[in-house]
Structure 1
């Protein structure tokens, strides 16, 4: 026997990974009452729009066949088979529109709860689940007790509603039966429509409450201990794929922020195509020139494109561009060893006041 989980220590809410793993394994919060509600809704729709016309059409067709039996050959077994196939076809073509909405209602109920999440593992036979002791404990467990109470409440509610409807229309049913029996099917159809409508409302309330309870119970069953959360965090933190993914996301964000700051640059120093460094220096802001963006190859080309689009001066200085790229990080001030070279470039730009590319 496997070790039973210590539910007393599982006091923490399940993490997003625990919930995702449960869904991946087919452990989904499913409410039977939602399926019942959709089935009752489908039955109500069928009763209101399809049932009467389909049965009336079937009755007319069967009556026609019975009234004209003398014109239908029945001398051989083949003739009898043809008559049987004809009746089967006529019956099926009228009953199928009644059955299809009910099947669709059940399918919609399951898709609405599972979002069409098909788990092949759940439908594979697993003899490890066959356990007399486990089945006995489930039989008298809390979930089955709740299911029993729900089923009892549904049965009692439907019985009471049926009694109220029949009791309130008892005189009308008896009088119709004696004075005009041909109106009896229509009366029964109307009474069943009223009964189904009330049952749908009751089932909707019950399905809503049951769905909330099932989802709450599902999350309670997936609760974790503090030790489990720590182990999961260590597992995620140590996963090389996760680390690479996080690093990629962080680099992408840094790159986007860097590109967004290029229009604020004072000058871009290039190699000319392999390196590009965007500097910002405004005398009124004080301090020293700051590298607000840098990159090589494609990123360098992108920096140049943004600079040209915003008419930021581009200066070609191969040794300076390479040195700045190697020694200065983004958002860092340039070291003192570059003061003279950068000062000459800024002085030249302030003198010329000419945007565009400046070769040196």
Structure 2
């Protein structure tokens, strides 16, 4: 009951981080029917293009061995070993290409779904894998029942399709008893290829449906609750409250640093109380006037207060203050369009300093 409620609460699609974590742990969508389909295609390919001549050659070799059986001396184990080795070599020459094709097809069918990646998590021992209770729950879980239904549907579908294709099997086999061996074998080969074709057609439909189902089910299993989404956002971007606190602390430090630079400014431009911009110009240090502080409302008043307290000239120029406030940045040289206006104010400050 708790699992059903938990599943119902998972209404959000999986995030990129959760998908990546799932892939890193080896939890990937995997269709068991796809490698089977690849194996059947490989079997069909080998039987069509490689098996015929090999089977004929193997049959001839085995027939020759049977004809010469009276000449074999099987009085000791060495002779028996030689005979068994010879039979294995003859049959192996027929079956080896098929086994090799099946191995390659199985690996290809798995790799085609997901790129092979070594994952230590998959091979780490887990008690749940050998637990009878967990195993029983897996068998009779919703996924277990779905797998059972898929297997039964696959068997029934393939059996019905094979029955439709091979409806005339018995008459053709009886007819083959009255024909020559090569003709009969060719007929059997045609029936086998026809049966393989029908089974492969069925598996294409089954594997295609299973491929889409496993990916859909994988995405459903990765769904998240709204709380999980919020927690992940907090982990990836940080707690909003903590970020706001850190941002406020950084702003306070920047404001104190800015206020500490006001007493060393050359002049302040004000509007008259809403905006204030403090500039520093030291020919031996600065290539052009530098903005050391700026602010509005209460901060503007504080800048003016510090400037007046430390003897820094304050010029009231509404238009210049507004234009500069929008276009200047702290600790940066003023834009070129303000050079002329600021130069006039700097010259006034110098003349006052010379008179005093």
1:226 matched residue in structure 2: 226
Query: Is there any run of 5+ residues in structure 2 with no aligned partner, and where?
Result: 244-282, 294-327, 344-356
Distance apart, 1:74 and its partner CA: 4.3
3-state SS, counterpart of residue 11 of structure 2: coil
Coordinate RMSD, CA, aligned: 3.4
Pair 324,104 (structure 1): closer, same or farther in 2 beyond 3 Å: farther
Distance apart, 1:24 and its partner CA: 0.8
1:84 matched residue in structure 2: 84
| Whole-angstrom CA distance in 2 between matches of 1:73 and 1:184 | 35
| Whole-angstrom CA distance in 2 between matches of 1:323 and 1:68 | 111
| Whole-angstrom CA distance in 1 between matches of 2:341 and 2:72 | 110
2:159 matched residue in structure 1: 159
The total of aligned residue pairs comes to 265
Using structure 2 for the length normalisation, give the TM-score: 0.65
3-state SS, counterpart of residue 186 of structure 1: helix
Per-residue CA deviation, residues 178-214 of structure 1 (Å, 9 max, x unaligned), is 2334422211111111121122122111111111111
Moved more, 43-52 or 333-342: 333-342
CA contact (8 A) 1:61 1:90 kept: yes
Distance apart, 1:108 and its partner CA: 0.5
1:49 matched residue in structure 2: 49
Moved more, 215-224 or 83-92: 83-92
1:272 matched residue in structure 2: none
2:272 matched residue in structure 1: none
2:146 matched residue in structure 1: 146
1:262 matched residue in structure 2: none
Pair 342,57 (structure 1): closer, same or farther in 2 beyond 3 Å: farther
2:189 matched residue in structure 1: 189
CA contact (8 A) 1:11 1:223 kept: yes
Per-residue CA deviation, residues 28-64 of structure 1 (Å, 9 max, x unaligned), is 1111111221121112112211222221121122223
Per-residue CA deviation, residues 56-100 of structure 1 (Å, 9 max, x unaligned), is 121122223333345555454323322322222222222101111
Matches within 5 A, 1:100-179: 100-179=100-179
Pair 318,182 (structure 1): closer, same or farther in 2 beyond 3 Å: farther
| Whole-angstrom CA distance in 2 between matches of 1:204 and 1:318 | 82
